[in-house]
């Protein structure tokens, strides 16, 4: 990949997108373009077509999505389904018809069936029912994967999908109504520490197992996919290691310095029992994560503290 190639990064302001942007700059790419949602509404097909037609990027990386945790997915199913379909479909369609050379689509491990065998292989896609609490988002992402696969199959284009496990890191979303489990825990334990180490209430039983990938490692996988022609259409991206939510809470509690109690609300849903990714396909090609969970949590909490007064998701 020529370092002067024009690369359009959709969602460049988000946690994942900003990490990819930093990784590309560090790698020496000089012709990066991004647009905020105010500048370009990715849900609007005419706007997307006009933008891609004018800019003529060589590569599109789709890191744009409407995202959220269990609560947000449960409360806004239509929004999560339709907005994600519009965003990705507009980009994929424009990339195909306007002859973009390479398209990298980012999805999520929630595309796999709720009770699929562990670890999750790419071949398990569409072999069983999804987790009901986030099936709307999952269905949209599955559609994106199949769209890229069909373009690859029918037209021989270099369209590839990367499915990350649970991501976290700097520039994460710490809004308790819309955030994922790890950043939500960081905020809860921090606020409880500040409130005389009060009890922290957490959802579910703590027994589900989850895998977590630091966002800079995800960005590195995107750069890897950019600089190589991957032989298949779909790849899992993760660590291949998982822990229970209870163990995660204890690590975060220790890193934050909270010394109070933890109360588990078993009336709240646990979600999928386990979601461990089989990352052997990416490992076989030469990519592997570098940041372990404890180091990643330390980096994320440090960033949280440094930005607590000036980023929009945290309102203390």
Q: Which residues are catalytic?
A: 137
Compute φ and ψ for 245, nearest 5 degrees.
Answer: -60, -35
188 annotated as ligand-binding: yes
Range 10-45 burial, b when 16+ CB lie within 10 A, else e: bbbebbbbbbbbebbeeeebeebebbeeeebbbbee
Report how far apart, in Å, the C-alpha atoms of 223 and of each of 1, 22, 25, 61, 187 are.
10, 11, 10, 10, 30
13 annotated as ligand-binding: yes
106 annotated as ligand-binding: yes
107 annotated as ligand-binding: yes
C-alpha to C-alpha distance for 227 and 222, rounded to whole angstroms:
9
49 annotated as ligand-binding: no
11 annotated as ligand-binding: yes
206 annotated as ligand-binding: no
Sign of CA dihedral 262, 266, 270, 276: positive
Phi-psi category of 169—alpha, beta or left, where left has phi over 0 and alpha has psi -120 to 50? left
167 annotated as ligand-binding: yes
24 annotated as ligand-binding: no
280 annotated as ligand-binding: no
Compute φ and ψ for 148, nearest 5 degrees.
Answer: -65, -40
Range 69-81 burial, b when 16+ CB lie within 10 A, else e: bbbbbeebbeebb
15 annotated as ligand-binding: yes
Binding residues for substrate: 188, 203, 210, 270
Task: Write out the binding residues.
Answer: 11-17, 106-109, 141, 164-167, 180, 188, 203, 210, 270
Could you list the residues known to form a binding site for NADP(+), using ranges.
11-17, 106-109, 141, 164-167, 180
């Amino acid at each position: 990949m020529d370092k002067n190639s024009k690369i359009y990064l959709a969602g460049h302001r988000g946690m994942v997108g900003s990490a990819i942007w930093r990784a590309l700059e560090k790698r020496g790419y000089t012709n990066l373009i991004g647009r905020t949602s105010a500048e370009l509404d990715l849900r609007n097909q005419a706007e997307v077509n006009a933008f891609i037609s004018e800019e003529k990027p060589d590569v599109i990386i789709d890191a744009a999505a409407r995202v959220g945790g269990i609560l947000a997915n449960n409360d806004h199913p239509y929004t999560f389904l339709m907005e994600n379909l519009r965003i990705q479909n507009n980009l994929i369609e424009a990339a195909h018809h306007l002859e973009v050379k390479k398209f990298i689509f980012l999805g999520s491990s929630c595309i796999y069936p709720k009770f699929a065998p562990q670890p999750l292989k790419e071949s398990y896609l569409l072999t069983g029912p999804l987790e009901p609490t986030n099936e709307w988002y999952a269905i949209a992402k599955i559609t994106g994967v199949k769209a890229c696969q069909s373009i690859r199959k029918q037209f021989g284009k270099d369209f590839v999908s990367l499915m990350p496990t649970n991501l976290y890191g700097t520039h994460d979303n710490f809004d308790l109504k819309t955030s994922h489990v790890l950043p939500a825990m960081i905020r809860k334990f921090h606020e409880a520490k500040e409130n005389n180490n009060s009890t922290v209430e957490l959802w579910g039983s703590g027994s589900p197992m989850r895998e977590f990938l630091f966002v800079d490692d995800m960005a590195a996988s995107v750069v890897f996919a950019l600089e190589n022609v991957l032989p298949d259409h779909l790849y899992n991206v993760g660590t291949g290691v998982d822990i229970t939510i209870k163990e995660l809470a204890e690590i975060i509690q220790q890193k934050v310095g909270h010394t109070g109690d933890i109360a588990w609300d078993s009336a709240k849903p646990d979600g999928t029992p386990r979601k461990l990714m089989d990352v052997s396909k990416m490992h076989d090609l030469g990519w592997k994560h570098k940041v372990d969970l404890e180091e990643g949590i330390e980096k994320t909490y440090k960033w949280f503290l440094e930005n607590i007064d000036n980023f929009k998701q945290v309102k203390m």
